[in-house]
Chains A and B, each alone.
Chain A
Amino acid sequence: MHLKRYRFFDVGADHYYYNDYANDVTLTDMVQRSYMPALQTLLQLCENNNKQFKVAFSISGVTLEQLEIYASEVIVILQKLNKTGCVEFIAEPYSHGLSSLANEKCFVEEVKRQSKKIKELFGKKPTILRNSSLLYSDEIGEMVNKMGFKAVLTEGAKQILGWKSPHYLYHCANAPKLKLLLRDYKLSDDICLRFNNNSWSEFPLTASKYTDWLSSLPEGENVINIFMELQAIGVMQPLDSNILEFFKALPQEAAQRGIRFATPSEIVKENDSVAPLEVPYPLTWNDEERDTSSWLGNDLQREAFNKLYSVAERVYMCNDRRIKMDWDYLQGSANFRFMNTKSSAENMNRGIYESAYDAFTNYMNIIADFIKRVDALYPEGIENDELNSLLTTIRNQDDEIKILETKLGNALAALEHFNQPEDKEAANKDTAVAKNELGAKEKKVTTKKAKKTASKKSKKKGSVVENKKAKPTN
């Protein structure tokens, strides 16, 4: 999501933070240059190779939303791919954000929401998870395990593997049931970073050369995980570099050398873990360091991150649709990446921003407005726990009213049944009366409940309840 230029004098005045034009243009451009040709080729591969070619997709909920708005043809082709049976969809946080580092509740909620969206679109609930940019640590592993996922995809980074090979299945040190699939960054980057680089010693890379490398791996190294962004085809490697031809030739070349394709869940099913893998510090596929430093490397980024997640609990509790939506969009990890000040990021594309400070300023202004809106939902003085219990009471109250309403409805129906033998006019009158009665009773019920709760709490808290009181009658 591209944020728009948001000055501090917009705070409190303008609650729309996005640059729709940029979103439309960049996404359509990306779809035309990369997603459509790439997916069409993958579709051909899935259809033509006797179900030998397999591929898995991980798409964030926000991206799916954007595709639905600006490029629904991508969703259609993904559904076609899904029908071939060679494709698996993977769960990830809805926002492509960093909630796994900040707030467990939010993380779980987001992942569930994205899984639900995948199920709606493609009919199957994901069983494998990949966090934003392959972000993973032992703690995240525990959370993911609790959610019931079978495996997580992450980076086969040198600092955690050491002498070990990424070509095996591992498991989480804190949750042995959760398997880890590690990206082979060398073999992945050969395709997505170096394919078209003519100063690379292996240039040009052909499918037969690539599969030769795979088949010459030591015995027992059975699992080779190749993950990359979809824009590797068409954007990072332009189409005229013959990247599509490379992919088209892969299945045959692989079959000749006895190499099979598999989706992550097939791998987890067919292989056993060889060892636990300890990842005390978060790991990602970003930069040379493979850590979170490109998002949270400097004080600016950490400040923005802390400010955003300081309202996580409140956002989690609220029901405001706009706030929930903004929450998804504001969490996007790119927002933090734009504030990167590492020397390797000097020439990075910062979107509309001229510098890291510009990115920080703009984002903080937006956050300031967002936090104001969140704070306006509930009085600031109340502790989150207390607020939560109050909200539960209110919600329960809703249910209770519904039960009472149905009971009342039944009673009225019975009454009507009792009066049926009389003439129509009378019956009409009766129902009118009954309706009035219903209205009156409903009001009574509400006020009673409201009074009860209000009397229990102090004045301030009473006002929360009153705010919400209108809801049941609406």
Chain B
Amino acid sequence: MKVLMFGWEFPPHILGGLGTASYGLTKGMSQQEDMDITFCIPKPWGDEDQSFLKIIGMNRTPIVWKDVDYNFVKERLGDGADPQLYYNQRDHIYGDFRHIHTNDLGCVEFSGKYPDNLYEEINNYSIVAGVVARQQNYDIIHSHDWLTYPAGIHAKQVSGKPLVIHVHATDFDRSRGNVNPTVYGIEKNGMDHADHIMCVSELTRQTVINKYHQDPRKVSTMHNAVSPLAPEVQAIPEVHDPKEKVVTFLGRITMQKGPEYFVEAAAMVLKRTKNIRFVMAGSGDMLDEMIRLAAARGIADRFHFPGFMKGKQVYEILKSSDVYVMPSVSEPFGISPLEAMQCNVPSIISYQSGCAEILSKCIKTNYWDIHAMADAIYSICSYPALYKYLREEGKKEVDAITWEDVGLRIRKRYEETLKYYYNN
């Protein structure tokens, strides 16, 4: 089975959970021998792992015909790109796009991030997708998140192949209900055109059904999983101060993640005990407000903001934590508690997180219930039996959640979708 996937991020250059999920998901699917995945991203850096799939860079796909020499193309594309593909793609340019700014190869430049002109970038991505969709051979189209929905729709209209979209988040999660109408429009349009919608949790599925008015029959839940820890991550030592416990919040410090509840709970805990430190790692638009709040509560001496963490740093901080807290107000899935549990860190998550649906060896509270959260933090820090239990059982539980299983489930959905698509 050949799948054409549209994504926005792919490791190692990632900005959020979407890239991690895209990697795990495709890697899990590739364990099936007859699965052939082509993954399109706006801007590959050349160091992506292409051992189990083929990556197409949208910034290397021409949309304006340029008469260029083979060696010039080879030199311009650099390592890891096939000049022949460029020529094949050039044969499938389907319109006059000279009004769009392109480079000397006739390709659009993408930032690959989430720039201010995001709508323009999404539109260009979808135009380039038209070329890819005409040139490639595939059985099914799979679009990850709203940025690539227009591309998916375009590919479906060009090829007549069924479209599966993967909802990693909706704008309702990001905005606590105040949706951006343009984003909502793009999302809704994608869902309306999709033949099947996969949501990362039941929570998201209900949003899709109720807020985007989709037929429940074509919406399914496809929980994420977590990739096993790399050996170099496993080798990071756990550093614990016997006298002090460390409670960690890790993520974007934005409204969606509920950082203020973490600060309030910390204040309650610190009123009672002094041997606990709180760490709020990450950056975001609410960072300054949180620093002010911690100061206002008089806990700044025990509350730390180390800033944005990436790569190995994330695991270093996790491994020296005693409790991981994710008080998200609305989290479609939330992969980070799974990563914490992989590192033997007991986790506290909000019921409003999608991962709460598949985790049982962790403590769950409502995000607004700072009393319950404070109580849970305190008890993990003060009752060794609970700490030990959650540490060991949590690790066992999360190790059993694999992308390979997710890959098999996705395969099943594909087959059902194809059957339905061609029989109706």
Contact = CB atoms under 8 A, between A and B. Distances in A.
B378 A357 contact: no
Contact of A361 (B376, B388, B393): B376
A120 interface: no
B353 to A, nearest CB: 15
Interface residues of B, number: 22
A304 B385 CA distance: 9
Interface in B366-424: 371-372, 374-376, 378-379, 382-386, 388-390, 393
Interface string A343-382: 0001000000011011011101100100000000000000
B329 interface: no
Nearest to B348: A357
Interface string A204-224: 000000000000000000000
A303 B390 CA distance: 14
B140 to A, nearest CB: 36
Interface stretch (A139-147, A294-302, A438-446): A294-302
A346 B361 CA distance: 12
Given A357-B363, A361-B376, A9 B386 contact: no
Contacts of B376: 357, 361
A299 B385 contact: yes
B364 interface: yes
Residue in A8, A341, A355 whose Cβ sees the most chain B Cβ within 10 Å? A8
Given A354-B364, A355-B363, A365 B379 contact: yes
A158 interface: no
Q: Summarize B's interface: helix, strand, loop or mixed.
A: helix
B218 interface: no
B374 A360 contact: no
Q: Summarize A's interface: helix, strand, loop or mixed.
A: helix
A7 B375 contact: yes
Nearest to A303: B385
A300 B268 contact: no
Contacts of A300: 385-386, 389
A6 to B, nearest CB: 9
A357 B390 CA distance: 9
B272 interface: yes
B386 A357 contact: yes
Contact of A7 (B371, B382, B385, B393): B371
B271 interface: yes
A340 to B, nearest CB: 13
Contact of B386 (A7, A346, A361): A361
A358 B389 contact: no
Contacts of A7: 371, 374-375
Contact of A303 (B372, B374, B383): B383
B25 to A, nearest CB: 28
Given A7-B371, A361-B376, A299 B363 contact: no
Contacts of A341: 393
A179 to B, nearest CB: 39
A454 to B, nearest CB: 37
Residue in A11, A346, A360 whose Cβ sees the most chain B Cβ within 10 Å? A360
Given A8-B375, A361-B375, 5 more contacts: A7-B374, A299-B385, A346-B360, A357-B390, A362-B375
5 contacts: A303-B383, A361-B375, A361-B379, A361-B386, A365-B379
Interface of B: 268, 271-272, 360, 363-364, 371-372, 374-376, 378-379, 382-386, 388-390, 393
